Chains A and B, each alone.
Chain A
């Protein structure tokens, strides 16, 4: 039996301290926590940075490092620093060094990096080892060159290799959400379908329970399946909360693809052990070719944003035509005055800025916000055009024969540079002969 303690769905999100303490008292074999995902957008992979505050990350990581020492079990984090790029891994390694020094601890750290070299991937592309996933099409080598960061998603094999070093802590770059939980149970011969299925159920901490914010859960893996129990006071896992989690952020609720195969839960049976824990058996692991998913982000320009607020009822009633007129006139003026491509978009907050053309039943209230977004190839051009947009947002009249109106601006200056913007540009898989060939494992010692 392998006992995995999952403190929460992600480092930096917080958890219930009493629940974590209860979990530590149950003597887990490993503590596993996720450090990120793509869900916060392409900026983090594009820049190799973390979404969460450094201070929050350090505060929670310090507590988990203390929990590790108390449990005497390894602590593993996957997708460190939100995106799992090499720079984000180094960021968490630095935080770990600081904590080790401050707490007078000597620790062995396995550092698993998932960053990919574009030149090596170009050779793999030529060799036919990169394939698209729907809805992507075949990869163009130029896209690889354009990426500021490319990562491959490590699976259980790479995490197992890191654990085999005997490290106290494993800090991994991009991994699948499940790999950090499934690795030790698989390594110790637990049921493979149960290992992957339990890992999927546990990857968001207490999300698969009656109290998603309570954070900490414990999963026992064995030869025939797994048993999941929440650690929070009064928190329950039921066959419904557990089985429903296969829906979460999954396009297919039955099959989950991982490096080296897929999980199939068609025949899974969920049984309540008591009023708070659930036993699951019958999940199947279907082995396949060893492929890892690639993620890449590339720069797609620079943006400057402005916000104007419109309360005049006549302007609110005619806001769409007002915005359309501004875009046409400001675009023409800017084209005459600047060199280079740019785009001006006005989104009407309070009407349809959330869903755009999909929101066919949109209606506005007493006021609207107009968010001007200028995108260009350089930061300077984006700011220059945004400054040309400002007089329109401030004073543009609905008709020529009316007094010049003035609208509300919450800020001075009104232009807010967003810096470089990024896009996800890879949705492909890479075939590997050896699971470690695309990953880099180092062991370091930190602290006293």
Chain B
């Protein structure tokens, strides 16, 4: 079974300010974009990040071959519960999701 990371060119996550996390799935080609855009369920992304699916924002950007997700950070940046100050490691959780 393929994962998102196998098909996408790159999956990147970053803080969008201290309270939000954003994950950019750079699909690379229109074909890869179509597979990921149609095959990646927002509920699975929310579950991987352990956030409420109701607060997950999703943007399918065909002109860029990018699928973007934003959600409140699992722990606010820099709090005792936060383990990743820049939010860069969360991308792995999305890259490892099966399609």
A residues sitting closer than 8 Å to B (CB atoms) are: 38-43, 133-136, 240, 243-244, 247-254, 295, 300-301, 343, 345, 347, 353-359, 361, 373, 375, 421-424, 427
Contact = CB atoms under 8 A, between A and B. Distances in A.
A423 B78 contact: yes
Contacts of A135: 19, 55, 72
A378 to B, nearest CB: 16
Given A356-B83, A427-B19, A251 B78 contact: no
Contacts of B29: none
Interface of B: 14-20, 22, 24, 26, 48-50, 55, 57, 59, 61, 63-64, 66, 68, 70, 72, 74, 76-80, 83-86, 89-90, 92-93, 96
Closest 7 CB pairs of A and B: A251-B70, A251-B16, A41-B78, A42-B78, A135-B72, A424-B18, A251-B20
A357 B72 contact: no
A373 B81 CA distance: 11
Contacts of B19: 133, 135-136, 424, 427
Nearest to A427: B19
Given A249-B16, A253-B61, A424-B78, 4 more contacts: A247-B64, A355-B84, A355-B92, A423-B76
Nearest to B23: A247
Contacts of B76: 423-424
A358 B74 contact: yes
23 contacts: A38-B77, A40-B85, A41-B77, A42-B18, A42-B78, A133-B19, A136-B19, A244-B66, A247-B66, A249-B14, A249-B15, A250-B16, A251-B22, A251-B57, A251-B70, A252-B70, A355-B92, A358-B49, A421-B80, A422-B78, A424-B76, A424-B78, A427-B18
A358 B50 contact: yes
B79 A300 contact: yes
Contact of B57 (A39, A252, A421, A423): A252
Contacts of A253: 59, 61, 66, 68
Nearest to B65: A240
Residue among B18, B66, B89 with the most chain A CB within 10 A?
B18
Contacts of A359: 93
A336 to B, nearest CB: 24
A84 B16 CA distance: 18
Residue among B50, B66, B80 with the most chain A CB within 10 A?
B80
Contact of B68 (A247, A301, A347, A357): A247
Contacts of B70: 251-252
Nearest to B66: A247
